[in-house]
Chain A
Amino acid sequence: MAVSRGLRLAAWQLGRSFASMLGLALVAVIVVLALIGPWIVPYPDDVEGAVRLAGKLQPPSAAHWFGTDEVGNDVLTRTIIGARLSLLVGIGITLAAAAIGVPLGILAGTAGGRVREIIMRLTDLFLSVPGLVLAIALVAALGAGIVNAMIALVLVWWPGYVRLAESKALSIREEAYIEAARVAGAPRLRILWRHVLPNSISPIIVKMSMDIGQAILAVASLGFIGLGAKPPTPEWGAMISIARGYLPDWWWYAIFPGAFIYASVLGFNLLGDGLRDILDPRSNRG
């Protein structure tokens, strides 16, 4: 009862803000495209890179809404299929980073002492270099490609979650209900799982929502500079990287995939902003 009332209140608050609804709508469109993409695209053969040189670099028309690329593939088809890949890697990177960072952060925040010292210094170290540069260094060491790009991004992404979970766990550790559970003889793991984690989950969810967008952008960035997905994989960043050579005359080829990156990052950011106002109103800044 209380839960459903809370949910209704949250939904009402979310619905009241135009920015949050815009975010939700953008995310919904990307998710739907990712789910049903392969069944709705007009030219399914073009996903893996069919060659139709006769119809190359045609401007947008009724047959090809977003025009065609340098081997005659339909840009609309490849952009829609790109949504699936981008969403998958965005969610994958965020989940993996949270799965590494959150337990470490909660451990650091509740254990204290030397354990905390080691975890937090390691975290500071990774945060001392801007993520994108560190990711490029890692990809350079591991070799280019979409899987290595994902590994590199997870490796630079987890420390943010350690910081967040640690600061939440530190403040929760002092709460009376934790003291009560400890006095009642609850085992330590149970306290962490049942009391500390649920009470620190709101800001983590907010951060994850924002990070999916940022991870999509990061993967596209690596694809653009040639260290991520390799053509003919229909990845937005890699598509723009090739399309760049066909500017300014064949402008549609670069414009549409980029607009999709923009829309999905904007969607997740706006949604995260809206969720923060509801779930975590005290930290509403920056």
Chain B
Amino acid sequence: MLVYLLRRIALAGLMLFGLVCLTFAIANLAPSDPAALAAGPDAGRSQIEQVRREYGLDRPLPEQFLRYVSDLVQGEFGRSVATGRSVGRDLARYFPATLELCLVAMAFGMVAGISLGMLSALFKDRWLDHVTRIFAVSGIALPPFWFGLLLQLGFAAWLGWLPTSGRIGVSTDPGDPITGLLLVDSLLRGNGPLFVQCLSYIALPALVLSLPCLASILRVNRSEMVEALRADYITAARAHGVSRWRLVTVHALKNAMLPTLAIIGLRWGWMMSSTVLVETVFDWPGIGLYAVSSAIAGDFKPVMGVTLIIGLNFMLVNLIVDLLYGVLDPRLRHA
């Protein structure tokens, strides 16, 4: 087990280094001049040269790379050209909002996806199964930004049940952040009305974000459950008089969970990357919106910072999934 663990962690470290190389390559292979970008559109030639020296962009590439890596290790992502603020500090400010959104969406996607997948497998080839399968295919095909606009139109503009966009009302003071997750903070302070308000703001964007994830969890869970329910140990358990409920929720689900877990790991990364669309639609102040507004302004460092953070998240979650796999499936530990 220890060897498996160490090997997996070493591999993740290697991938992380590769990711750093990749972002460096994108920044330097692009035809645009990074010094001109950093100096801004109105800069003259002498200003550009000054910026070039200041940022060390006149140094040979290997030296620049070493500096880039050592900066990153210290949590220094560079400065935004548009605002002059430190990108690392900006990321720390915006990340909790994205994390909160993704956590809520993932929780909903898992609960709904696993239970619908289970029901679909139990009623295989009946109408419930057909409905959920059509729902699953549409969930992957729906453009998230368009679905978001439809929900805003329906629930915010026409019905008026939920707020259109934002994370919290303009006149509401959330107080000093404890965890940075507003839902958690309001609970910790025992502020019920604030919790309800945050919930009303997060409901629509989380629903949009969770849909593709829900759909693929549903599909995988259904096909695994169908397979598991056909297995000999299920027949044996049934012969021993195990109740139908226990058969499904304990014996079959446990065996269907491994592939489901893998898809959850994969979907976490995709979910984080879809935040660029969903946060744009809902004006959700997270790293997705930060990346989009920076990219449009030609502000390069924040975009790279967000790419690194999302890549890092993706790797960490896949590492955790792989380790859980090792715990849940003893065969893998010795492979």
Q: Which residues of A contact B (CB under 8 A)?
A: 19, 121, 124-126, 128-134, 136-144, 213, 217, 220-221, 224-227, 237, 240, 244, 247-248, 251, 254-255, 258, 261-262, 265-266, 269-270, 273, 284-286
Interface residues in chain B, defined as those with a beta carbon under 8 Å from any beta carbon in chain A: 15, 18-19, 21-23, 26-27, 29-32, 133-134, 137-138, 140-146, 149-150, 152-153, 156-158, 216, 219-220, 223-224, 259, 263, 269-270, 272-274, 276-277, 280-281, 291-292, 294-296, 298, 300, 303-304, 306-307, 310-311, 314-315
Complexed CA–CA distance, A251 and B150 (Å): 9
Chain B: CB-nearest residue to A143:
B32
7 closest Cβ pairs, A-B complex: A258-B146, A248-B157, A141-B30, A130-B273, A266-B141, A265-B141, A129-B311
Give chain A nearest CB distance to B78 CB in angstroms: 14
With both chains docked as a complex, state the minimum distance between the C-beta of A268 and any C-beta of chain B, in angstroms.
Answer: 8
From B15, B143, B269, A262 is in contact (CB under 8 Å) with B143
Residues on the B chain within 8 Å of A254, using CB: 146, 149
Rounded to whole angstroms, the CA-CA distance of A256 and B290 in the bound complex is 29
Cβ contacts A to B, 8 pairs, < 8 Å: A140-B298, A140-B300, A144-B296, A221-B277, A225-B277, A225-B296, A226-B296, A227-B292
Docked complex Cα distance between A258 and B145 (Å): 9
CB atoms of A247 and B273 under 8 A apart:
no
Known: A130-B269, A258-B149. A140 touches B303 (CB 8 A): yes
Given A140-B300, A141-B300, A221-B277, check contact A133 B143 (CB 8 Å).
Answer: no
Cβ contact of B276, chosen from A129, A213, A225, A265, cutoff 8 A:
A225
Q: Would you give the shortest CB distance from A18 to chain B, in whole angstroms?
A: 9
Q: Decide: A136 and B158 in contact? CB cutoff 8 A.
A: no
Selected contact of B143 from candidates A136, A142, A265, A285, CB within 8 Å? A265
Among residues of A, the one whose C-beta sits closest to the C-beta of B157 is A248
CB <8 Å contact, A133 and B307: yes
Known A125-B21, A266-B137; 17 more pairs at CB < 8 Å: A125-B22, A130-B314, A133-B291, A136-B307, A137-B304, A137-B307, A138-B26, A139-B295, A141-B30, A142-B30, A227-B292, A244-B281, A248-B158, A255-B150, A258-B149, A261-B146, A262-B146
Give bound CA distance, A42 to B224, whole Å: 50
CB neighbours (8 Å) of B224 from chain A are 285
Provide the bound-state CA to CA distance between A188 and B153, in Å: 60
B37 CB to closest chain A CB, in angstroms? 9
**A255 neighbours in B (Cβ, 8 Å):** 150
Q: Please give, as numbers and ranges, the residues of chain B lying within 8 Å of A258 by CB-CB distance.
A: 143, 146, 149-150
Establish whether residues B311 and A240, one from each chain, have CB atoms under 8 Å apart when the complex forms.
no
Expressed in whole angstroms, the Cα–Cα distance for A273 and B219 within the complex equals 12
* Complex CA distance for A138 and B31, rounded to whole angstroms: 11
Residues of B within 8 A of A248 (CB): 152-153, 156-158
A130-B272 in contact (CB<8A): yes
Assuming A129-B311, A141-B27, A224-B277, is B22 touching A273 (CB within 8 A)?
no
**Shortest beta-carbon distance from B239 to chain A in Å:** 29
Instruction: Judge whether A247 and B149 touch: CB under 8 Å.
Output: yes
By beta carbon, the residue of chain A nearest B309 is A133
User: A146 to nearest B CB, angstroms?
Assistant: 15
Pick the contact of A213: B141, B223, B272, B314 (CB < 8 A).
B141
* Interchain CA distance A227-B296 in the complex, whole Å: 7
> Do A133 and B306 touch (CB < 8 A)?
yes
In the complex, the chain A residue whose C-beta lies closest to that of B28 is A141
Residues of B within 8 A of A269 (CB): 137, 140-141
Which of B149, B216, B273 is within 8 Å of A240, CB to CB?
A: B149
Q: For B29, B146, B276, which residue has the most chain A Cβ atoms within 10 angstroms?
A: B146
User: In angstroms, how far is the closest chain A Cβ from the Cβ of B145?
Assistant: 5
- Docked-complex contact B280 and A224, CB < 8 angstroms: yes
Q: Which of A224, A227, A251, A273 contacts B145 (CB 8 A)?
A: A224
Least distance between A266 CB and chain B CB atoms (Å): 4
A141 in contact with B141 given A225-B292, A258-B146 (CB within 8 Å): no
Partner of B311, one of A128, A140, A261: A128
Q: Which one of A124, A125, A255 has the greatest number of beta carbons of chain B within 10 Å?
A: A125
Residues of B within 8 A of A273 (CB): 137
B212 to chain A, nearest CB (A): 10
From B142, which residue of chain A is reached at the shortest CB distance?
A262
Decide if B280 touches A130 in the complex (CB within 8 Å): no
The answer to whether B296 touches A141, judged by C-beta atoms less than 8 angstroms apart, is: no
Chain A residues with Cβ below 8 Å from B146 are 240, 254, 258, 261-262
